[in-house]
Chains A and B, each alone.
Chain A
């Protein structure tokens, strides 16, 4: 830092000017790389940043049919829509479901990928390892609609595999998807099945970056494979785990809109209705765009708080965070 200060002794204004002078040649020099990221930037600009302007309708009363102008001209109503949500009969129910479903997904799904990666890492037969890895991450490429279809077919009371097995063993068929007691478990299990393999790829990549010398040293000290995994592999991938955890916590309020929407029915609304499905129904079905936007914004603000909090804690604990 001192060296840097010694080298650049200009005033801040001059510094910025130098920065600008250096920026453009740098962009010119690497123009093809910049061109490559251009679609990505445009994508986020067009689909994520420009529409952000629309959140102001959360503080207005507008009807979806008044056209885009209404976003600007609509009447301001302050926090009316937020208050309506907080006072809604279903507020706590929706919050609880969202947190429980994504909490379960985090508790069961997050370590599952790490565990799978650790197990795969111990495999010595490369061909077998590749096959297992491929099979385990294939479900990631299946769309949620298809996964929901598979779940429905498996659990159907009308020829579904699980119920056929139950009946074959003398039991009575059971409508699992309509049962509040089973619904969340079904969601979480199908989520873990779908994401476990894909999640493990990142950890496997991190593991491959660990210095083999460490393992060698540990072996010479008499560490068995479990000890090696515990003392070398896990600490080696800890920063990646931390980053993934922060990202997951940021998504804690997104409990998997599509799978819930596709699988739920009135008999399980009580345990299945999450913020996103609530927003969907209020906005697109009941046409309360302003209200739905307010609920969505509320969710995003909470998610932001969560992600900042997780990042802070992570940095305090092991010095690694996203920023």
Chain B
């Protein structure tokens, strides 16, 4: 009898455990709603922020819990809005966001390309909200930035994230140049000579043949170097033969670009794992990287962090004025549709807009608070120079929804770790003179029409990036270049050219 009872109890327990496990929470951990002051409290509107803006890059592990709570309380007291931050998993932020948008999970605002989401009905137009609650946001961004946010019917779908900028300068270890008696390279031959010297002359002096002359990635070689080989840089181009818009692969010079990259890779000038997954911070720590042609912040944010552990005098400087046979090496990033958007399922879109607008008030004070909590202060009375009050940031920026040049260019750090990044943003990022601008930079292509009229569009995109990597890494010989172009046509490049040309002609001003 006892055995039977024990069996029953065990079974019931097992069932209960399994059911509990099955019905586990959705991971959002809704925070308690009542304010700490107790007493009868009115339910504050909650807003769910999907924190994929890049604000957390400064402290990826997130805030110290009590500081996060403190900031939440700050917003609840100041605005009467309770913000809840959803921190995405590293590396699959987009996938998680897409899942959340398609499910019943709460997500009210996130950063994304509005044209990806608007036609699918995931987000709402912001015209009225901006008029009513977003005047400060409207003032903070220039007219050109708003143009990228507006569709052909005049609906504004997002709050801008940036303006046309340059993001891919080549950085070089200037202390190594001095050590090896080399000049700043001014053309591709000199650049190659510097890489050769870095490779062969052991500039770090560790006695090993382990220097990595250049760390880069796919976007790096395209945006930092392609401009030297192609008239229009990393851009579509108009073929004068038939006046059609064509991809860079068909432009004169593309094959040379590819061949040069393959040659550099073969010679060991380009980091072997550049096109796989690697951690630039770890690589920089090894004191073996001579140059970087990746997204600027790989240097401006990461290098100052590890500088103290590198030998004295270690410094990365931008190579200025360098040109290839077809001119400037760098291609600028045109204005894009990247923006803060508000989802259709947001229960309090007005609260979301108020919340974002608050960070655009009293620039840069409120946005700095959103980024660093209480760990910062102005150092003078010009409301520009600032410093951090603690060596380690305690609040990571989970509630920061105003990241972008409109706020980031309005202050500068005295702190050496932050200074390099701030200097780049204030002095370099908007200087478009140093790069080529893609010819269709002002065109916002209709992505639905692209998908409809080019059924193999994603196959073509994939072929373009995949085969470039194969050619550069030597997995495919350059002699097969013509075969590759043939392949692109088989995959539907004719349709691609037709549709892009049609939209380009229709939308160009």
In residues 1-38 of chain B, which contact A (Cβ within 8 Å)? 4, 7-8, 11-12, 14-15, 18-19, 22
Interface residue stretch chosen among A201-209, A220-228, A285-293, A306-314: A285-293
Question: Hey, which chain A residues are within 8 Å of B276, CB to CB?
Answer: 175, 177-178, 265, 267
On chain A, the number of residues with a Cβ less than 8 Å from chain B's Cβ atoms is: 39
One of B117, B121, B272, B286 near A66 (C-beta < 8 A): B121
- Contact status of A284 and B99, CB under 8 A, knowing A65-B121, A89-B490, A269-B462: yes
- Contact status of A180 and B277, CB under 8 A, knowing A89-B492, A267-B469: no
Question: Hey, which chain A residues are within 8 Å of B470, CB to CB?
Answer: 180, 266-267, 270
User: A178 near B218 (CB under 8 angstroms)?
Assistant: no
User: B272 near A65 (CB under 8 angstroms)?
Assistant: no
Question: Hey, which chain A residues are within 8 Å of B12, CB to CB?
Answer: 35
Question: Hey, which chain A residues are within 8 Å of B4, CB to CB?
Answer: 32
Contact with A along B444-485 (1 / 0, CB 8 A): 000000000001101110110110011001010000000000
User: A63 near B121 (CB under 8 angstroms)?
Assistant: yes
Q: Give Cα distance in the complex from A153 to B509, angstroms.
A: 52
One of B94, B101, B473 near A65 (C-beta < 8 A): B101
Question: Hey, which chain A residues are within 8 Å of B201, CB to CB?
Answer: none
One of A42, A84, A87 near B22 (C-beta < 8 A): A42
Q: Give Cα distance in the complex from A43 to B14, angstroms.
A: 13
B283 on the A face (CB < 8 A) = yes
One of B15, B95, B286 near A39 (C-beta < 8 A): B15
User: A284 near B95 (CB under 8 angstroms)?
Assistant: yes
Q: Give Cα distance in the complex from A66 to B283, angstroms.
A: 44
Question: Hey, which chain B residues are within 8 Å of A178, CB to CB?
Answer: 272-273, 275-276, 473, 475
- Dominant secondary structure of chain B at its interface with chain A: helix
- Contact status of A267 and B475, CB under 8 A, knowing A43-B18, A66-B121: yes
- Contact status of A89 and B18, CB under 8 A, knowing A179-B475, A282-B458: no
One of A35, A156, A179 near B15 (C-beta < 8 A): A35
Question: Hey, which chain B residues are within 8 Å of A173, CB to CB?
Answer: 272
Q: Give Cα distance in the complex from A89 to B122, angstroms.
A: 30
Question: Hey, which chain B residues are within 8 Å of A287, CB to CB?
Answer: 98, 116, 120
A158 on the B face (CB < 8 A) = yes
Question: Hey, which chain A residues are within 8 Å of B101, CB to CB?
Answer: 64-65
Q: Give Cα distance in the complex from A63 to B8, angstroms.
A: 47
Question: Hey, which chain A residues are within 8 Å of B19, CB to CB?
Answer: 39, 42
Contact with A along B205-234 (1 / 0, CB 8 A): 000000000000010000000000000000
User: B466 near A65 (CB under 8 angstroms)?
Assistant: no
Q: Give Cα distance in the complex from A152 to B276, angstroms.
A: 10
Q: Give Cα distance in the complex from A179 to B265, angstroms.
A: 14
B344 on the A face (CB < 8 A) = yes
- Contact status of A32 and B473, CB under 8 A, knowing A42-B22, A63-B121, A287-B116: no
In residues 246-303 of chain A, which contact B (Cβ within 8 Å)? 265-267, 269-270, 282, 284-287, 289
5 nearest interchain CB pairs? A39-B18, A64-B102, A65-B122, A265-B276, A89-B459
Contacts from B to A (Cβ < 8 Å): 4, 7-8, 11-12, 14-15, 18-19, 22, 94-95, 98-99, 101-102, 104, 116-117, 120-122, 218, 272-273, 275-278, 283, 286, 344, 455-456, 458-460, 462-463, 465-466, 469-470, 473, 475, 490-492
Known: A175-B473, A285-B95, A286-B458. 5 other contacts (CB 8 A): A43-B22, A63-B120, A87-B455, A88-B456, A265-B275
